């Protein structure tokens, strides 16, 4: 029995959180759908592509610190990459004619990619033969500190109602609701579904007493992690003589080469420090240590909740980037983690915060962490896949 086709568009531009969450979703979706995955960023080395999905790699684009686009392909201009992407997106749709089309984040973000997304959405909406069910996949909390926030929200709401059949928000509504960070002048008509959180690695570590006395420092893909790493190294020099707790720093595949060289140099003067450029399964290491020090991206937060590790967040913040700080505050208010208050702590203030972490015991996360499975179920219902047919498809593909 053939599976219906689902086309999934993901563009990760700064870190790799959007890609990791999207991979967790399509891993579950592939049990019921044939998944064609349009990837707009570079694939991080060591990140495993889920088995059974078809990757269509667009010419990779990313973001500069000032928010402008840059081409990540050698010997290719941004304009040429954009032209190729526009053609490839439409060609992939025409070739596969999916029954479901999932767009990650847009129209709530990725405005700079509307030149390839709006033509795709137009074609999908006007596909008289078999228009697909069009779904937006959205994280828990949106950036809501733009200079033109009201205009942005109104534009996103109109686009959502014009082109999308459903909005899937990947959060527990008891933790965060869309209206807290998205406030258009007119309510959206598009149905909203809360899926629960999408946990990339649904593991649970042992009790604290059976974990290694070690601090694990990470910053997701690492592209903006250098200030945290430098402060952590300074904090380790202050803490080691008294507490004798080893530290492991995982820089991340996207940490700029110059920052990596600096961290390597600084690490030579830090006691009991283990330094990794990247680890293929950071979550498994998180399960085995007693303390985590990290930023507060969506996937890192989910790995921490799933593992039960005692965590201190140093959320990434800059002008008009307040998503991580909001998430960290919500988790801290629930007693699930600690969070620093300063925008970027130095070694001394971070060492003081780590002292609090040594005494911290996280509460139990009473949140829905089954977002990937719930997402697949919701989309199957939207596409009208019969439950018996879905079971037969899963059994025929060897899925249990």
Mean pLDDT of 123-132: 87
| Structural domain includes residue 297 | yes
Q: How far is CA 36 from CA 18, 40, 100, in A?
A: 17, 13, 10
Does residue 368 sit in helix, strand or coil? Answer: coil
Please give the pLDDT value at position 137. Answer: 98
pLDDT in tens, 207-218: 888 899 999 999
Does any domain span residue 255?
Answer: yes
Q: What is the pLDDT of residue 154?
A: 94
Residue of 160, 106, 113, 92 whose CA lies nearest to 138? 106
Instruction: Taking residues 66-84, report their average pLDDT.
Output: 92
Shared-domain flag, residues 243 and 98: no
Q: State yes or no: pLDDT of 4 exceeds 80.
A: yes
Within this chain, do residues 240 and 344 fall inside the same structural domain, yes or no? yes
Predicted confidence (pLDDT) per residue in 90-113, tens digit? 999 999 999 999 999 999 999 999
Q: What angle do CA 7, 11, 16 make, to 5 degrees?
A: 120
Tens digit of each residue's pLDDT (9 = 90 or more) over 279-330: 888 888 899 999 999 999 999 999 999 999 999 999 998 766 788 999 999 9
Overall average pLDDT of the 17-36 stretch: 95
Domains in the chain, number = 2
Position 15 scores a pLDDT of 76
Question: By three-state DSSP, how is residue 109 classified?
Answer: coil
Residues 107 and 165 both lie in one domain: yes
Does 203 reside within a domain?
A: no
Asked, for residue 202, whether it belongs to a domain, the answer is no
398 sits in the region (left: phi over 0; alpha: psi -120 to 50; else beta) called left
Residues 171 and 309 reside in one and the same domain: no
How far is it, in rounded angstroms, from Cα 102 to Cα 113?
15
Asked whether residue 76 is domain-assigned, the answer is: yes
What does the pLDDT read at residue 400? Answer: 34
Q: Rounded mean pLDDT of the chain?
A: 91
Task: Say what the pLDDT of residue 198 is.
Answer: 96
Average pLDDT over residues 51-68: 89
Confirm whether 191 is domain-assigned. yes
pLDDT, tens digit (0-9, with 9 covering 90-100), for 334-381:
999 999 987 789 999 999 999 999 999 999 889 999 999 999 999 999
Neighbouring C-beta atoms of residue 157, cutoff 10 Å:
21
What is the pLDDT, as a whole number, of residue 342? Answer: 75
pLDDT at 202 over 70: no
163 and 282 housed in the same domain:
no
Are 109 and 252 contained in the same domain? Answer: no
Is 364 inside a domain boundary?
A: no
In this structure, the answer to whether residues 164 and 53 fall within a common structural domain is yes
Answer yes or no: is pLDDT of 63 > 90: no
* Same domain? 125 vs 242: no
Whether 155 and 239 map to the same domain: the answer is: no
Query: Which CATH number fits the domain that encloses residue 346?
Result: 3.40.50.2000
Q: Are residues 28 and 166 in the same domain?
A: yes
Are 384 and 355 members of one domain? no
Per-residue pLDDT at 82:
96
Q: Which pair of tokens denotes residue 17?
A: 């959180």
201 in a structural domain? no
pLDDT at 221 over 90: no
CATH number of domain containing 174: 3.40.50.11930
Residue 91 shares a structural domain with residue 228:
no
User: What residue numbers bound the domain in which 149 lies?
Assistant: 5-196+369-396
User: Could you tell me whether strands 133-138 and 166-169 are parallel, antiparallel, or unpaired per DSSP bridges?
Assistant: parallel
Rounded-to-10 torsion of CA 18, 23, 26, 27? -150
**Tokens encoding 233:** 């190294």
């Amino acid at each position: 029995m053939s599976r219906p086709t689902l086309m999934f568009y993901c563009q990760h531009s700064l870190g790799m959180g959007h890609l990791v969450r999207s991979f967790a979703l399509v891993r579950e979706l592939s049990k019921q759908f044939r998944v064609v995955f349009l990837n707009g960023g570079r694939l991080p080395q060591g990140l495993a592509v889920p088995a059974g999905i078809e990757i269509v790699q667009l010419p990779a684009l990313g973001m500069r610190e000032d928010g402008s686009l840059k081409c990540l392909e050698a010997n290719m201009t941004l304009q040429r990459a954009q032209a190729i992407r526009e053609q490839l997106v439409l060609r992939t749709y025409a070739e596969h004619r999916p029954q479901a089309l999932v767009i990650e984040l847009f129209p709530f973000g990725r405005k700079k990619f509307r030149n390839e997304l709006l033509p795709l959405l137009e074609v999908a909406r006007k596909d008289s033969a078999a228009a697909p069910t069009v779904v937006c996949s959205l994280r828990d909390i949106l950036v809501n500190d733009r200079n033109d926030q009201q205009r942005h929200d109104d534009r996103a709401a109109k686009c959502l109602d014009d082109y999308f059949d459903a909005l899937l928000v990947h959060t527990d509504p008891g933790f965060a609701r869309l209206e807290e960070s998205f406030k258009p002048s007119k309510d959206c008509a598009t149905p909203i579904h809360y899926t629960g959180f999408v946990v990339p690695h649904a593991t649970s570590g042992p009790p604290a007493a059976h974990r290694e006395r070690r601090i694990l420092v990470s910053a997701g893909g690492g592209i903006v992690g250098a200030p945290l790493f430098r402060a952590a190294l300074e904090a380790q020099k202050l803490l080691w003589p008294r507490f004798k707790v080893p530290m492991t720093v995982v820089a991340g595949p996207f940490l700029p080469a110059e920052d990596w060289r600096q961290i390597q140099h600084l690490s030579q003067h830090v006691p009991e420090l283990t330094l990794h450029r990247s680890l293929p399964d950071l979550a498994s290491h998180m399960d085995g240590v007693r303390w985590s020090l990290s930023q507060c991206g969506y996937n890192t937060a989910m790995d921490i909740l799933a593992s039960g590790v005692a965590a201190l967040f140093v959320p990434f913040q800059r002008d008009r980037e307040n998503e991580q700080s909001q998430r960290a505050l919500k988790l801290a208010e629930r007693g699930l983690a600690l969070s620093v208050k300063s925008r970027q702590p130095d070694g001394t203030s971070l060492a003081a915060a780590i002292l609090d972490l040594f005494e911290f015991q996280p509460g139990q996360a009473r949140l829905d962490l089954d977002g990937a499975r719930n997402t697949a179920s919701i989309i199957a219902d939207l596409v009208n896949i019969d439950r018996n047919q879905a079971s037969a498809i899963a059994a025929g593909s060897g899925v249990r």
